[in-house]
Structure 1
Amino acid sequence: MGAIVGPERTRVRAQQHSAAETGNPRWRPLTRVAFRMCVAYFGLFCLVFAQITYVFTGIAGQWLPDEAILWQMTAVEPIVAWVGRQVFGVDAVLHDSGSGDQAIIWLLVFCLLVLAAVITAVWTALDRRRGDYSGLTAWFVVVIRLCLGGQMIFYGMAKVIPTQMTSPPLAALVQPYGEFSPMSVLWMQVGSSHPYEILLGSAEVLGGLLLFVPRTATLGAMLSLVSLAQVFVLNMTFDVPVKILSFHLVLLCLVVLAPQARRLANVLVLERPSEPATQPRLFRTLRAERILVVVQIFLGIWVLIGCVRSGWDAWREYGDGATKPALYGIWDVTEFDVDGVALPPLTSDENRWQRLIVDTSGAAYQRMDGSRVPAEAVVDPEARTIALSEPAQEPSRQPKQFASFTFEQPGPDRLVLRGQVNDRPVTVSLTELDLDSFPLRSCGFHWVQDYAYFR
């Protein structure tokens, strides 16, 4: 073997010195580059995505203004929109629609990837002599698993307190199945069985809480991976616009599990003896480690309390715990007079109503052809008035009123409306539909079934 001379000798000595200092084997060059990319990209992703950081406001989040929720996205929107116009020729703006797959968010992911690649290149050039990142890995995994744990509690509690998928609204009971979107089908299916929804949410909350405890973090990441894999598949197959976030949460699970990959493979696949999975130490003293554990557990409890409080408020506002408005129910139209003339129940008539639906989340009327027209309803039981308005397309705009009535109830299941629809005098007689006539609401649960109740 030839002697090592010149610059090569200096490089080998530097590597040996680095390994001697850290006590860890030197990483391969590609491993170091991949690690830098992961730190840069996932660090930026967790910092910029508002929902991930907002969860940590806990119970204090209820006092923050709405603008505080999306402040990161609002701050970077001009830059991302410029990239969309200059690079892709797309005019993208941020909509307050609840969709996580908007064009501007896809552009944001592209920008984060490019920025992370630049950071990785600069970092590699400036820090190419470092042999490993064992210490930084420990801190990076802690930050990632806390962000992941917060999201698991957030999504899980929205199911434990059933507000993510509420019970099917009244309008859905009279809407043909073929008119539902795939996402609506999924939401109705889960919301039709709150015990099932609560069990799904409990698994997510458990996985999130386990992630906040270092000793159980690996178990929490494994449970979260199974739950999130199912969520991602559902988002992809039912076209739910949370594909970007759910996919990244799956990746975050893999990041948390990566340091334990060899141990898990030995135990679960290769059937080889292995040391117990442990989280790397962050401090030299045991006292500092214990303080950090307490801080993490406290943070998990803080996030849990905040999610419980926001979930409870949502349940009482628009969930099953919401106060039912006056005239709540589905009302079949028996007579419909316009300008003093009774309109026959013809399916070709665009003016006559077939049903009026008043629900906790709004109202709607159904035309004779079965199509529904959503509306916002204001019912005053003391003045015995009801006003219907077109739903506001933007929060800043006032809804446009198109109908106003006074009402009287000759009987418990009878209703008479007198007023105007689009400035024309209208009188409507209605009969309340028994909600228990729908099997979805009245079928119930049976221990003994000789035949499946499938219809």
Structure 2
Amino acid sequence: MNAIATEVLERDGEDVVDPSLRWSLPARIGFRFCFTYLMLFCLTFAQILFVFAGVAMRWLPDSAIRWQMEAVEPVARWAGEHVFGVDAMIHESGSGDQTIIWVLIFCMLVVAAVGTVIWTVLDRRRTDYAVLGRWFVTFLRLCLGGQMLWYGFAKAVPIQMPYPSLTTLLEPYGNLGMTDVLWNQVGASPSYQVLLGIAEVLGGLLLFWPRTATVGAMLSLVSMAQVFVLNMTYDVPVKILSFHLMLISLVVLAPQARRLANVLVLEQPSEPATQPLLFRSVRANRIAAALQVALGLWTCSGAAWNAWDAWHEYGYGAPKPALYGIWNVTEFTVDGHPLPPLTTEPTRWQRLVFDTFATSYQRMDGTFVPTLADVDTTARTLTMTAPPTTPDARPTAVATFTFEQPAPDRLSLRGDLGGRPVMLTLEEFDLNDFPLRGPRFHWIQEIPNLN
């Protein structure tokens, strides 16, 4: 794709293409395929274009954001059923590697291949796609920049990987899935997550200014290569998107491949690695650059606003519940009879955990049961219900208690559990006893800080 930089020579008032810059047949075919496939990908995946809505995205209805995927869902479902024999449907799970998305990628590859053949037959006399190539690379560069800003701010304001929950601190390491291990590993070190985010944000911002876009694409390539490797090795369900963002980074850098090779590998002098100009007029190119920068700042404002808002609602800035903490059950009485702390006792609780966004109790066998909790500090009541299994279902009552706190680290519950009268005495666990929440940095270490 170095030929994207094809220049038109003016001779005798006519435009003549320099024969030395004519594209080879493989280059023309490759461009047609890449153009068709990547344009389909960017226009189909809603999040790629909707980040340009900036702050306005927070007021857009979900239907407006999902319409692109819903528009192609019938095609993907048909292909899934008749080609692969699978039921491909959209699951509101947050996974980017669902069956329907893999089927959709297959469909786009087929369309791109067929489209390339038709395009080659109908446009076989064209010698290059210099002008279209410039606009194509610019479009991909802006799409990449938007994604880098969106994901970068989710780390720079550390909300993508939250700090390990209280329940996670109690879980045996072997019970964690691969994705859980990665999420908690990064979340346990907010400063590391922030640095990762700053690198992505910087790459995104640089991509919106043509003069620095090559550096931004290089930084984005390194960042997305790391993300892709982590997604592949920790089974994070964003493999498809991270791979395509890495691929788009390579395409954006392709016109500069020879210049970069001269500087970084061959150590030869080279012209500045600038992005291809869109217009012949200097004034028009300056206006285009200013518009790109303005789009980048607008997209940046939306990504920053969304991350900051999520920080206060879901991140470290979110308020903690009244009974926040881990409470060990020291006494558990049912029908007036104390139950011994045996692992075979099905009714007795071992712990009660009040986290920022979740409440759960731990059985004596170590399993956790998530619940919804309503704490009324004025009436001194605690109502626990089971989460609904379907959107239309109502919560099922688990227990109703009145509580007293004779001391900040003591809690007494009295009430009804499954239709039986119970009384619990609990003692708060000191969270600082977890090594993970202890001292986080030492300049001097005589021995490694390992357990």
| TM-score (structure 1 length as normaliser) | 0.93
Counterpart residue type for residue 334 of structure 2: V
1:202 aligns with 2:202: no
Amino acid at match of 2:177: S
SS across alignment from 1:373: strand
> CA shift at 1:428, angstroms?
1.6
Question: Where do residues 62-101 of structure 1 align in structure 2 (5 Å cutoff)?
Answer: 62-101=58-97
2:5 is matched with which residue?
none
Matched, 1:187 2:180: no
Residues matched between the structures, number: 438
1:316 alignment partner in structure 2:
312
Q: CA deviation at 1:394?
A: 4.5
Distance 2:299 2:358 in 1: 31
| Residue number among 17, 23, 28 corresponding to 1:32 in the alignment | 28
**1-side partners of 2:419 and 2:85: how far apart?**
45
Q: Report SS of the residue matched to 2:382.
A: strand
Report the residue type matching 2:314 in the other structure. Y
**1:148–1:253 contact (8 Å) kept in structure 2:** yes
Alpha-carbon shift at residue 378 of structure 1 (Å)? 2.2
Aligned to 1:260: 256
What residue number does 1:14 align with?
none
Does the 8 A contact of 1:157 with 1:201 survive in 2? yes
Farther off after superposition, 41-50 or 23-32: 23-32
Distance 1:254 1:338, change over 3 A: same
CA distance in 2, matches of 1:365, 1:421: 12
* Aligned alpha-carbon RMSD (Å): 1.6
For 2:87 and 2:366, locate their aligned partners in 1 and report how far apart those are by CA, in whole Å. 37
Shift of 1:397: 4.1
CA distance in 1, matches of 2:321, 2:441: 28
User: SS of 1:20's equivalent?
Assistant: strand
Q: Give the SS at the match of 1:164.
A: coil
Distance 1:160 1:398, change over 3 A: farther
Post-superposition shift, 1:178? 0.8
Instruction: Structure 2 unaligned segments of length 5 or more: list them.
Output: 1-13
Which residue identity is paired with 1:20?
V
Task: Provide the C-alpha distance between the structure 2 equivalents of 1:432 and 1:149, rounded to a whole number of angstroms.
Answer: 47
| Distance of 1:271 and 1:330 partners within structure 2 | 60
Deviations 1:6-59 (A, max 9, x none): xxxxxxxxxxxx992577722111211110111111011011112111211110
Task: Note the 1:168-317 alignment, pairs <5 A.
Answer: 168-317=164-313
Contact 1:331–1:357 (8 Å) recurs in 2: yes
Query: Structure 2: how far apart are the matches of 1:96 and 1:228?
Result: 25
The alpha carbon displacement at 1:320 in A equals 0.8
State how far apart, in whole Å, the 2-side matches of 1:288 and 1:397 are: 59
Residue of structure 1 equivalent to 2:338: 342
- Partner residue of 1:415 out of 411, 426, 429: 411
Residues 179-223 of structure 1, C-alpha deviations (whole Å, 9 max, x = no match): 111111111111111111111110010001000110011100111
SS in 2 for 1:407: strand
Q: Does residue 424 of structure 1 match 2:412?
A: no
Supply the distance in 2 between the matched residues of 1:23 and 1:407 (Cα, whole angstroms).
Answer: 86
SS at match of 1:70: helix
Q: 1:384 to 1:442 in 2, by over 3 A?
A: same
Query: Which of 111-120 and 207-216 deviates more?
Result: 111-120
- Structure 1 distance, partners of 2:413, 2:60, is 42
1:353 and 2:349 correspond: yes
CA distance in 1, matches of 2:390, 2:52: 28
Shift of 1:271: 1.6
Equivalent in the alignment of 1:442 = 438
Aligned letter for 1:243? K
Bigger shift: residues 243-252 or 61-70: 61-70
Does 2:390 match 1:402? no
Going from structure 1 to structure 2, the CA distance change for 1:78 and 1:419 (only over 3 Å counts) comes to farther
Which residue number in structure 1 is paired with residue 3 of structure 2? none
